[in-house]
Structure 1
């Protein structure tokens, strides 16, 4: 469940790099980057720590139950906080940042490529566009995979009669777990180097050997 926090961190880094390149070196030094990575790995697990420390087996059943959910007020606060912190806020941040980045990069592609400096700049902009496009697709896939479960939880807590054994719930849970499998496929489509690396890995090819 670290992916929303990871995506927000990557989004903000790319946002500053594209729109405020001079400030990027100040905000993302090696030391500050390590701190950001540490916070990412701290916030995610800490938010779900309540599930880990309050989980137990009930009457020998194989199911796992969270004790705090027997208290309605605590359950509502925790679940609604999860909806806001892990879905709604990341969605707003990514929508605003990627929208501004897309507009900025689009407006900077109309260059006169007659000069070599302009040609180099155009190639840099195109490379950035490819990276931003990939991150946008990653964010969209994350939203598509996690939205059904988040919407289900929100409706369930709002009193809508939904079954935890119904097809919609099973689909929502499966979509969340499938999210971790779609990114490598996307990277293989967007980046040829990543695709070649995957082929070399699974085909046991040495880096110097060409693959079909």
Structure 2
């Protein structure tokens, strides 16, 4: 249980918002057939992971643990699995790599469309392997998180393990640096490819003055402004760029403080895992799980349409049921 009341309230609030938001994402994707695509499968997986992370955040902040720890394997299990927040970091790391897999899928779909069709010919096999890989990486991070805690004198405390600093730096690279570098590379490549694709469509549609069709133009001396035939593509490019910048920015803002603290810890800094600084950094990571549904709801047009249709259908069914009951 979180001993600081203000932090407990903050973490509980963040967790509740995340549960509601990610639960809504799961419901919309599951019940709206228009959302049953490969991309949305990755989003569905990320929403599930974030949902579990927010649930664990609430439980860890409000469920008391025995003090002192019970003796034997029960105390060791409780320390290494629950008190160490290993399960929480499993979900956070799996969420990060779910975002990486989603970025990878979009990167291949836009930059290498022909390879994408060949790679994702089996709509369930390849996405299933990628999703399983994101969970396995989360498990590896959780194993490390549990290994650096141990029961000592019936209390769960951080301990030194052989090669802890090296392992910690590898975890930072795996959990933060490599995903960030790849996502920046992928987003830049996607934006450049969308620009090239937009240019290949053609620059302009001939105006009426150039085609001689001036009869519908009230002023024959005025040349109509040329229009871009690929406006939808241009809008999609801008929407994609804005969405990806928001997602990347949220990831950097929410993850950087905790990763800096963890980096200093691996260099020998004495870290108090119960300090407000560390807990707030963990809360920021949790907030990242909350903002993802907001980004989808605000920027993802397909999700917004599916959500409106789903709730409209439920409202119509509810209204029809009430009328049937009132007029049997």
TM-score category of the 2 structures, normalised to the smaller one: 0.7 to 0.9
- Equivalent in 219, 242, 257 of residue 148 of structure 1: 257
The CA deviation at 1:75 is 1.9
Partner of 2:242 in structure 1? Answer: 133
**Larger RCO, structures 1/2 (Cα 8 Å, 6+ apart):** 2
- Equivalent in 201, 206, 209 of residue 313 of structure 2: 206
Aligned partners of 2:148 and 2:160 also within 8 Å: no
The CA deviation at 1:167 is 4.1
Aligned partners of 1:146 and 1:175 also within 8 Å: yes
1:45 equivalent in alignment to 2:135: no
String of CA shifts for 1:117-144, please: whole Å, max 9, x gaps: x83x542453355245323422321221
Q: For the residues of structure 1 that align with 2:264 and 2:171, how far apart are their CA atoms?
A: 14
Q: For the residues of structure 1 that align with 2:308 and 2:147, how far apart are their CA atoms?
A: 42
Range moving further from structure 2, 182-191 or 50-59? 50-59
1:100 equivalent in alignment to 2:207: no
The CA deviation at 1:107 is 4.0
The CA deviation at 1:40 is 2.0
1:75 equivalent in alignment to 2:182: no
Structure 1: which 5+ residue stretches go unaligned?
none
- Equivalent in 110, 116, 120 of residue 24 of structure 1: 116
Aligned partners of 2:111 and 2:193 also within 8 Å: yes
Aligned partners of 1:108 and 1:125 also within 8 Å: no
Cα distance, 1:25–1:76 mapped onto 2, change above 3 Å: same
Aligned partners of 2:198 and 2:233 also within 8 Å: no
Cα distance, 1:20–1:47 mapped onto 2, change above 3 Å: same
- Equivalent in 68, 89, 94 of residue 2 of structure 1: 94
Q: TM-score, with normalisation over the residues of structure 2?
A: 0.52
Structure 2: which 5+ residue stretches go unaligned?
1-92, 207-227, 317-328
Q: For the residues of structure 2 that align with 1:193 and 1:105, how far apart are their CA atoms?
A: 19
Q: For the residues of structure 2 that align with 1:163 and 1:125, how far apart are their CA atoms?
A: 50
CA RMSD of superposed structures (Å): 3.1
The CA deviation at 1:145 is 0.6
Q: TM-score, with normalisation over the residues of structure 1?
A: 0.76
Q: For the residues of structure 1 that align with 2:184 and 2:249, how far apart are their CA atoms?
A: 10
Name which one, 1 or 2, has greater alpha-carbon Rg.
2
Aligned partners of 2:119 and 2:126 also within 8 Å: yes
Partner of 2:106 in structure 1? Answer: 14
Q: How many residues align?
A: 199
Cα distance, 1:130–1:50 mapped onto 2, change above 3 Å: same
Cα distance, 1:176–1:77 mapped onto 2, change above 3 Å: same
The CA deviation at 1:169 is 2.1
